[in-house]
Amino acid sequence: MERNEKSPEEEITTPLIMSVDEMIEQSIGRLNLIQILQIFLVSIPTFFDSQQTFITVFAHALPTWSCTTSNTSCTSNSKLCDLSKTDWAWDSGNVHTSIISEWDLQCANSLFAGMPATSYFVGCFLGGLLLATLGDSSLGRKNLLCISTLVMSLAAFASAFSPNIWVYSIFRFICGIGRAPVAICVLVLLTERVSKRWRAQAAMAGFMSFSLGILGLTGIAFLTRDLSWRTLYLWTSIPGIISSLLCYVFLYESPRLLLMQGREKDAMAVLRGLGSNTLISPSLPNDNTGQKLPKTNPFISLKILLGRKWAVKRLIASMLLSFGIGLMYFGMFLSVGNLGFDIYLTSVFNALLSLFSYMLTFLWWIQHCNRRSSLLGFCTISGATCIIFSVIGKGHGGVLIGRELISLFCACMAYNLVLMYMVELFPTCVRNSATSLVRQAMILGSVFDPMLVLLGRKNMIYSYGAFGLAMLLCGFLVLCLPETRGKALCDTMEEQEFMDQDKIF
């Protein structure tokens, strides 16, 4: 008697006992064209995320100036604030290429002059705290990503029409709130919609898009260098608005999240859209386990996370580690104007270096190296090198830029690894919330960067020295976290506890 072939509809309802992770692996184990297009689409928001994060490098740069009188006290080496306003003028003439020249901030104290940039990172920090759990519950990954990108881009667009520094700071604050969940939503969506085999390569797409955004920003800034800083905001915000609408129309939600919410039909529809031909219903957690996330309570995932002692300890160690990495990573990019080199060329070097670090991390390092030892090594080298060249100062041109690139490369590697590491440390039911909180600790570190960067214009120890010390000290906290290399993503807290029988805590 011949065995009858089962139809796709019969396969969907086959009552097999299978976990969510096993079902995802079986359904979309092979990477196809549709999945590649989805990876490209979900990576686009990070392109504009990086532009809004580092746009102040150019919009807040100190413009070049020249002496306008024959007064011998005015030379190219004079301190601008020691001269009379009649002795010098901005080279750009009537065009304000920076907020510094438009609002006369060249002699303002560091706290006031750095207020717009600080407002942005404070917005990132608060926005992450307020919006982190929505990706695990009511809004979901996709909707939160689209809304965040739209708010970020609209606020950036409005920044171009700011009449003064106070209104400008408010718009930067709103931009930061909108931007806060973008990177985490992208990372989680990329890793949850592909099989374990392709997880690292998919995550790399988001990081590479981030670096390409910096390159794009540098190119736009160079082409508009003789125009108003407001033009730079217009050229970077309008494409971001368009991208948020495209993502809303064409992007798929995470099938893992849909299954954890009990939306099995929606999850199966997504898997079909991703090109799966083999669909098997998984064995979902019961309602009384507290792991299937109800849409009615947006903070249930946070409650689950904080309800486990091991998860709280892991979260604290991860947040402190990320704080130091964030202070170093963002500070290094924001400080390019303090090195005494061409700001556009240095930004290109830094962006290309970070791009290379992403390729190295996700094409080779993630597959072959442990997370803990790698993070410890990169944090130590980056922090120590940064401290050394901050002491040497600007007098050693080639040596300075070489050490800066080494320190930045290690900081980029640590930044790449820690975000991927966080995705693997927490289960699906709390992954977006936990990873977002860790990300917010990273953003909290960057809150101090604008002020340190301005102080570093006088003495590099205040900027690069502080970055290196924070990176060095916080890097040792990785020893408090378990190794995750080669382990499958868990979906519930119970699964995570079972898998981490050999965890440190």
Q: For the residues 107-115, what does the mean pLDDT come to? A: 86
Mean local confidence (pLDDT), 448-470: 87
Residues 119 and 127: their CA atoms lie apart, in Å, by: 12
Give yes or no for residue 209 having a pLDDT over 80.
yes
pLDDT of the residue at 76: 67
Q: Is beta strand 65-67 parallel, antiparallel or unpaired with respect to 88-90?
A: antiparallel
pLDDT of residue 181 exceeding 90, the answer is no
Name which of 148, 153, 75, 80 is nearest 113 in CA terms: 80
In this predicted structure, what is the pLDDT of residue 244? Answer: 94
Average pLDDT over residues 459-470: 89
What pLDDT does residue 109 have? 84
> What pLDDT was estimated at residue 490?
80
- 413 or 15, which is more confident: 413
DSSP string over 45-114: HHHHHHHHHHTHHHHT----EEE-S--TT--TTS-GGGS-TTSEEETTTTS--SHHHHTT-TTS-HHHHT
Using only C-alpha atoms, the chain has a radius of gyration, in whole angstroms, of 24
Name the packing angle between helices 182-192 and 428-447 (round to 10°).
150
Q: How many percent of the chain have pLDDT more than 90?
A: 33
Q: What is the pLDDT of residue 424?
A: 84
Collapsing DSSP states into helix, strand and coil, what is residue 483? Answer: coil
* Maximum average pLDDT range among 6-10, 396-400, 446-450: 446-450
Write down the mean pLDDT value for the chain. Answer: 82
pLDDT over threshold 80, residue 501:
no
Tell me phi and psi for residue 159, to 5 degrees: -60, -30
* Percentage of residues in the chain having pLDDT higher than 70: 85
What's the mean pLDDT in 141-149? 92
Closest CA relative to residue 335, chosen from 394, 398, 414:
394
In the structure, how many helices (H) and strands (E) does the chain have? 24, 2
Query: 327 falls in which pLDDT band (50, 70, 90)?
Result: very high
- ∠ CA(164), CA(170), CA(175), 5° rounding? 125
Please tell me the least confidently modeled range out of 122-131, 315-324, 334-343. 334-343
CATH architecture of 10-62+100-283+296-497: Up-down Bundle (1.20)
pLDDT of residue 505: 40
The tokens for 187 are 């990372």
Q: What is the pLDDT of residue 18?
A: 58
Residue 436 has pLDDT above 60, yes or no: yes
